[in-house]
Amino acid sequence: MFARGWTDGLPVVPPTEARVERMLSGTSRNPADLVAVVPPDLVDCTVEKVAINAVMAGCLPEYLPVVLTALEAVCTDDFNMHGVLATTMSVGPVLVVSGPITKEIKMNHGINVLGHGNRANSTIGRAVQLVIRNVGGGAPGGIDRATLGHMGKQGFCFAVDQEGSPWISLSEDRGFGTDQNTVTAFAGEGPHILMDQKSRSADSLTRMLAQSLLGSVSSRVVMGIDAMLVLSPEHMARYRDAGWDRSRFMEELANHLMVDADSIIIGSGGIEEGLPQDFAGLSLPKFRPGGLLVVHAGGPAGLFSAVIGGWVNGPTGSEPVTKEITP
């Protein structure tokens, strides 16, 4: 299978007819139903083709609805998977799963949440990437032109910790109900740790997080690239103690994410990268409205959060897409 170009470099589970049939038992959809038109070759992809790739990735049948929905999300015009592949920037689909299904399929939202070790987390994103490769034709060195890439492109999927959060979830913030199962697809790079082990007040931690977030992807880019902030339980505790809700946090954080454009104008500080001269004198937000997605996840101990930098945002690049998972 590796010689045929069907794998991502790691061994895969052979998709025998029996295994694929078992995989298909995880969804109520018909095997011949169309799931999505998969970039970059814009190929009609059936439920059966997704099931074959899900077997190869190592998924269990109960993961299939998440894989199907995640694939639908990344194959939308808004997400722009063709661009995410073709860019030389090192981004890939980051899939955030929310709702009761995360517990039902035993996803990890705790220790090592952005790492390895959990079957659902490790294989759902991998299945999506195998479909993009095998059905869509989007393989590294072909349409995928990433200069560096990152290991999360093997498959990057995790669950949010909703029970442990005093805030509404990202999914609710994006218009879904508390008990709805959803997947949010975000075009992101690898996670970058944000360390603050000393702040004991919400205000101090917010200032520190903002200072770190200003460097997300490039300290000289404002508004054009989104980010996802993964707030850990021990950092979240500062906001729980202070009684801050999600909107208070977003508001306070935004106040500390204003950038004096003069400091990042082309040539300032002896750096040729930066904003054109027309922006001189302005104060600009680091992120566009809605351009910072915040989720709660991680192990119970450790005063670290993480930022996952994004790619070109909006209609000219990639929009985060949230979809309800259907069986």
Partner 1 sequence: MTATSQTGLTVLDPTAEGRPAERELTPRAETLAGLTVGLLDISKPRGNVFLDRLEEHLVKIGAGVERYAKPTFAKPAPVDLRHEIATTCDAVIEALAD
CA distance 215 to 187: 18
Q: Check the CA dihedral 202-204-207-208 and report its sign.
A: negative
Identified binder of partner 1 from the candidate list 220, 318, 321, 322, rule CB under 8 A: 318
From 241-249, 282-290, 291-299, 313-321, give the range in contact with partner 1 by CB under 8 A: 313-321
Q: Which residues pair with 230 in a beta bridge?
A: 295, 306
Q: Which member of 24, 35, 45, 67 binds partner 1 (CB under 8 A)?
A: 45
Buried b (16+ CB within 10 A) or exposed e, 97-129: bbbebbeebebbbeeebbeeebebbbbbbbbbb
> In the chain, which ranges are continuous DSSP H helix?
17-24, 47-57, 64-74, 81-86, 101-104, 119-134, 170-173, 202-213, 233-242, 246-255
Residues 112-171 that bind partner 1 (CB under 8 A): 130, 134-137
**25-44 positions binding partner 1, by CB under 8 A:** 38, 41, 43
In whole angstroms, the minimum distance from the beta carbon of 48 to partner 1 comes to: 8
Both tokens of 90, joined, read 């090192």
**Distance, C-alpha 165 to centroid of its chain:** 19
Q: The dihedral of CA 191, 208, 196, 111: what is its sign? A: negative
**Cis? peptide before 40, omega within 30° of 0:** yes
Does 20 bind partner 1 (CB under 8 A)? Our answer is yes
Least Å distance, CB 67 to partner 1, is 13
Window contacting partner 1 (CB under 8 A); options: 1-9, 107-115, 193-201, 202-210: 1-9
Q: Among 102-110, 167-175, 193-201, 310-318, which window interacts with partner 1 (CB under 8 A)?
A: 310-318
Among 147, 197, 283, 316, binds partner 1 (CB under 8 A): 316
Asked if 52 interacts with partner 1 (CB under 8 A), we say yes
- Distance (Å) of CA 241 to CA 166, 207, 252: 10, 17, 16
17 contributes a contact to partner 1 by CB under 8 A: yes
Nearer to partner 1, 155 or 298 (CB): 155
The distance of closest approach from Cβ of residue 140 to partner 1 in the complex, given in angstroms and rounded to an integer, is 16
Stretch that binds partner 1, among 10-18, 68-76, 96-104, 151-159 (CB under 8 A): 10-18
Contacting range for partner 1; rule: CB under 8 A; set: 92-100, 215-223, 293-301, 309-317: 309-317
What is Dmax (Cα atoms) for the chain? 66
Q: Which residues bind partner 1 (CB under 8 A)?
A: 1, 4, 6, 14-17, 20, 38, 41, 43, 45, 48-49, 52-53, 56, 80, 82-83, 87, 130, 134-137, 311-312, 315-318
